[in-house]
Structure 1
Amino acid sequence: MDLAFNEKQEEYRQQAREWLINNIPEGWGTPVFEWPDDEAERGKILRNWDRKLYEGGYAGISWPKEYGGQGLTHVEEIIYDEEAGKLNAPGGINVIGKLLFAPTLLLFGTEEQKQRFLPPLLKGDEVWCQGFSEPNAGSDLAAIQTRAELVGDRWVINGQKVWTSFAHHAEWCFMLARTDHDLPKHKGITLFLVPMNSEGITVRPLVQINGNRDFNEVFFDHVSIPQENVVGGVNNGWNVAMGTLGFERGTLALGRQVRFQNEFNTLVQISKSLNKNGENISQNSYYRQKLAELFAEIRILRYHGLKTISQLLNEGKLGPEASLQKLFWSTMHLNMGKLGLEVLGEEGPYIGKETVGRGVLQEIDLGSRGETIYAGTSQIQKNIIAERVLGMPR
């Protein structure tokens, strides 16, 4: 594998970095930035960032030009993600649409669907959310009970979804529903495109333990949509969903790796500022070993990411190996959060402007717990690796 970038690609990196420096909201990622309490105002800030990315030519970098993209390659996409990660640039409000729905539609959608949905998604005019998980179908996604029935020339959907990120801001939802109860549970599932302003949809927020308000419950009560709002064919939703989860598990590692490196650097700085039993934490052999392990794992994650992108470039798709990466990074980040609280010790319960690290390490610890659940729990990833990568019996 060639891990070097050529001269033209390095020029693109420099251009992307300069654009980001000049366009990131003033004070973003620092205590100076005033994040509004009003959820609608928060959404407006993130939507404006999506629009600014589009205007600057950094939205849909590897997408075909006919759908509003830049027509470049995944390499340029990687370069931008790395530079955005280094500067802790905003993720935008349409991260689900850009990173999960759009690649899925490019693979499975009709030409009419691509022309209709991809350009407004890139421009920030239409935000997407993902309706996969249900209260009794999280780890076992094939156990979904939300159902869709064809009545005349329209699908009528009833059921509930949960952990639906940005549903309270979204104009559209790509969701799974059961369309044939007589088939095995991995069959008889279809992926639908549902307008969020449809009559019969109710969105209820779920506030997380760290105070974030991105997740929601979504209820569908006799929601009617056109017959053509199906992606990948009726009763073929499981195959389409596996493509979506492959992108979620495997293509985001490089941007994450850089952000994890930033968090690690913060952890090291905080370690240097604290003492335990009269000894600086950064000089303690136990903590030095733990920090060294984390540093090595973050570097390993980078190479995992490069390998996955190489597979995507060469083969055009991701296999079950993406589960290796998802299990690796989520476990590593969870351990980083645990170590952060261990370093803070008695300072751990206190968050605020006057506290050590202003709550950064606590945020890592609380947020990382959910990362071992979404996109498939760690237990599910281990099953996939055992059965589909190692070929072990069930």
Structure 2
Amino acid sequence: MDRLVNTVRPYAWGSTTALPELLGEQPTGEPQAELWMGAHPGAPSRIERGGLPDRTLSDVVAADPEGQLGAASVREFGPRLPFLLKLLAADSPLSLQVHPDRAQAAEGYADEEARGVPLDAPHRNYKDDGHKPELLCALTPFEGLCGFRPPKETAAFLESLDVAGLAPYVDILRARPGTDALREVLTALLTADRDEIAGTVDEAATAAARLAEQGADTAPGTPGREEYAAYAAIAQHYPGDPGVLAAMLLNHVTLRPGEALFLDAGVPHAYLRGLGVEIMANSDNVLRCGLTPKHIDVPELLRIVRFEPGEPGILRPEADDAGGEESYTTPVGEFRLSRFTLVPGAEPHVLAPHAGQILLCTAGTAVVHSEEDDGELALTPGRSVWVPAAERVRLSGDGTLFRATVAV
């Protein structure tokens, strides 16, 4: 096993303090949005040897895929690490987006390749032929948007803002069947003239801010102060953007620490604020719906989005029979996320040889002991270790440790 040296990505929406506080480092004053752990070509982790970063994890995996990943993982996903693990620290909204399923990604990638669209072109939709399901587990209270609300609930929300320019959308949401109504309204918002709709966006934002300041929280199922405040905050970052109104079609969610969201193909979503552990299939395929200066391909987006209203599926960890490992169950094979709460003096948790895995400490101190060479690594918050497939390790300490591996 080897300690990982990981890269922080300084995206503009990142928090300036959350990751430094977790890592016990001084803030730089610049946003620190994501800490990447894995073998993604954009920022592969490096293996620490002799106290210094050595080879990348990508190189280590490429030199011995079965030894590092496990035979089952290589058979299923090829000779590469199929997931990317992150610490994500948002202080302002990320773009409203969806991800394609496997077939859509393969079709879209092949089409753009055939048309000769450069991989780095700003209007390119598909950087690879893979899907990108993802899971976000909150470490702090975490706000986001996930999936469409039932149209009649959204109609009530928009009506409560009392903005004349929203009346046509309210009428559609009340008159049409659910999926048809959502498709028609989202299409109208994304194809609207930005200058013409900007006034409606600003009026809606002002109304949301006013209602957030005025009212006490209301009954379940009706808009409350927190929800109005969230949309008002989005509009502050993206004034006049029709994506603000598109965001109002979605469920507003606040996760408590330990709760998670699974985001499958076609589900529109956006992270708003908070610190969490995120794991995803190792793909770059994103189609944006708004809240971004980047390219929005409306026809392709409408092909990908699943116009299915419903409650967001908040996941809570499920303990195994032994009571030591708590897992977040998802329907994908590329990744599996679980956590351990380590208690001083308790029997160590034994992780049998299975597949390559990344162990990440998020609180306290976690001690990872290798039975292969009797080596031991102590992890503090934000630090991680790579464990090859054939290696058996024991976990002990006083803190919280997340385990990222495959589900095959």
Structure of higher RCO (CA pairs closer than 8 Å, 6+ residues apart): 2
Q: Which has more helix, going by share of residues?
A: 1
- TM-score (ref. length: structure 2): 0.28
More strand by share: 2
